[in-house]
Amino acid sequence: MSKFDIYETVTNLIVERLEAGVVPWHMPWKTASAIPRNLVSKKPYRGFNFWYLLSFGFERPYFLTFKQVQNLGGKIKKGSSSFMIVFWKMVEYEKDDETKEIPMLRYYRVFHVDDVEGLDPDKIPENTAHDHEFDPIASCEQLIEFWYDSPVIKTGMQKACYIPALDEVHMPDPRTFFKDEEYYSTIFHELCHATGARKRLNRHERFSSLNFADSGYSQEEMVAEMGAAYLCGICGIENFTIDNSAAYIQGWLKKLKSDKKFIVMASGLAQKAVDYILDHQDSNSKPVLPKPKKKKSKSASLSMNF
């Protein structure tokens, strides 16, 4: 089966999940920092708020509003900064003698628990990292090892990310992932980001901005996740990771106001990212990748009815 067939097969799988309604995305690892959440309600933040708060890499994942701090008898440390939490609220208005509703963007601010003093320590849960016996997957390890102009990879970090200025990929310890396959899906995602560097495909120049709040960030995230899904398919582990990849992509599509056309553009850029990694394998010791399993498809064409 050719690489193009792999791309088409995996893209079809993702689209099928999107059409069927995927389960919510879950973080595939658990370090001591865990998922950002409100300290009082214990509810995790969702959507943009989740990614925004996660990006700061706090070891403790808890946040409070100013009022919650007061109710708990605490005090904001001098000089501390707050973080904006955004949400949509339906607002009623009258038009042609009818009451209608429109969504309006609203926000409130929260403080990280480390910026609050005077809280009862017993009210702040302790977080422990997930730990399991990590069993490396040969096909994935070889693909990473034999990429001869890859970025530097550092493990044991608090979060997964690619740092363009350093050309480094940071990853949590593999033992903190719930499944071995999810570790590789995550590192493939960050490695696909790295292909966009100026000295490689120079893809990052294509988007107007890679600031977190801008659409260019959402687009680059989709490219990286589709590329990761393709690499999982090439290595034969996509059945373990495809649902979470589809959920991740769905989340960024919502950020892009469900731009259905973009998945086609993203898939093309993701193919180029994966081709770059495959074309830059050490010629003296190229990895032996598993042959993809043939999968019956209802249709060769892609449906975009998300």
Instruction: Report, as an integer, the average pLDDT of 32-36.
Output: 71
- pLDDT-derived band of residue 216, with 50, 70 and 90 as boundaries? confident
d(CA 104, CA 257): 15
- The sign one gets for the Cα dihedral 250, 256, 261, 263 is negative
Instruction: Report, as an integer, the average pLDDT of 32-46.
Output: 82
Cβ count near 124 (within 10 Å): 14
How deeply is 136 buried, as exposed, middle or buried, from its count of CB atoms within 10 A (0-12, 13-18, 19+)?
exposed
* 247-305 confidence digits (pLDDT tens): 888 888 776 665 567 788 889 999 999 999 999 998 766 555 555 444 443 332 222 22
Burial letters for 142-152: b for 16+ Cβ neighbours within 10 Å, e otherwise? bbbebbeebbe
Residues found in the chain: 306
Q: What is the structure's pLDDT at 50?
A: 81
* 112-160 confidence digits (pLDDT tens): 999 999 998 888 887 777 788 999 999 999 999 999 999 999 998 878 9
CA distances from 230 to 188, 277, 278 (A): 9, 12, 11
**Joined tokens for residue 278:** 């495959």
Element (H or E) spanning 85, and its range? strand 83-95
**Confidence check: pLDDT of 99 > 90:** no
Instruction: Report, as an integer, the average pLDDT of 158-181.
Output: 92
Instruction: Indicate the residue type of 47.
Output: G
Cα Rg of the chain (Å, integer): 21
Residues 265 and 11: beta-carbon distance below 8 Å:
no
Average pLDDT across the chain, whole number: 83
- pLDDT-derived band of residue 214, with 50, 70 and 90 as boundaries? low
Pair type for strands 98-112 and 62-64? antiparallel
- pLDDT-derived band of residue 5, with 50, 70 and 90 as boundaries? confident
d(CA 266, CA 259): 11
Helix 262-279 vs helix 215-235: crossing angle, to nearest 10: 50
Give the best-scoring range by mean pLDDT among 22-26, 92-96, 230-234, 286-290.
Answer: 230-234
Instruction: Report, as an integer, the average pLDDT of 31-55.
Output: 81
Q: What is the structure's pLDDT at 268?
A: 92
- What is the share, in percent, of the chain residues with pLDDT greater than 90? 45
Q: What is the structure's pLDDT at 299?
A: 32
d(CA 119, CA 230): 47
**Confidence check: pLDDT of 10 > 60:** yes
**Joined tokens for residue 182:** 């999810």
